[in-house]
Amino acid sequence: MSMRNWSVDEAQLQKNPQAYEKWRLEQLINFGLNGEKLDLVRLRARMPELDIDPHRRAYLELLLNGQDID
């Protein structure tokens, strides 16, 4: 099942890979994973710039700080 967003032209957004990756992570975190898994390396790299709920941010940072993914 793929995620659908009626307010964003995903095809147009995918032309800018960095913006698309940021948007995609925000969508997955804010609205649900629908069985997908987050890429921890990308999440860790993008975390400072993500526009997500402060409580979710704190929780994810707690989880990321406990993970050794290097």
Q: What is the pLDDT of residues 20-70, one digit of tens each?
A: 999 999 989 988 888 889 898 999 999 999 999 999 999 999 988 885 555
Could you tell me the CA-to-CA distances from 44 to 3, 6, 40, 69 in Å, in that order? 22, 28, 6, 10
**Looking at residue 54, what is its pLDDT?**
93
What is the pLDDT at residue 3? Answer: 54
- Residue 7: pLDDT over 80: no
pTM more than 0.75: yes
Q: How confident is the model at residue 1 (pLDDT cuts 50, 70, 90)?
A: very low
| Cα 3 from Cα 30, distance rounded (Å) | 12
End-to-end CA distance of the chain: 30
In contact, 42 and 25? CB cutoff 8 Å: yes
Residue 4 has pLDDT above 80, yes or no: no
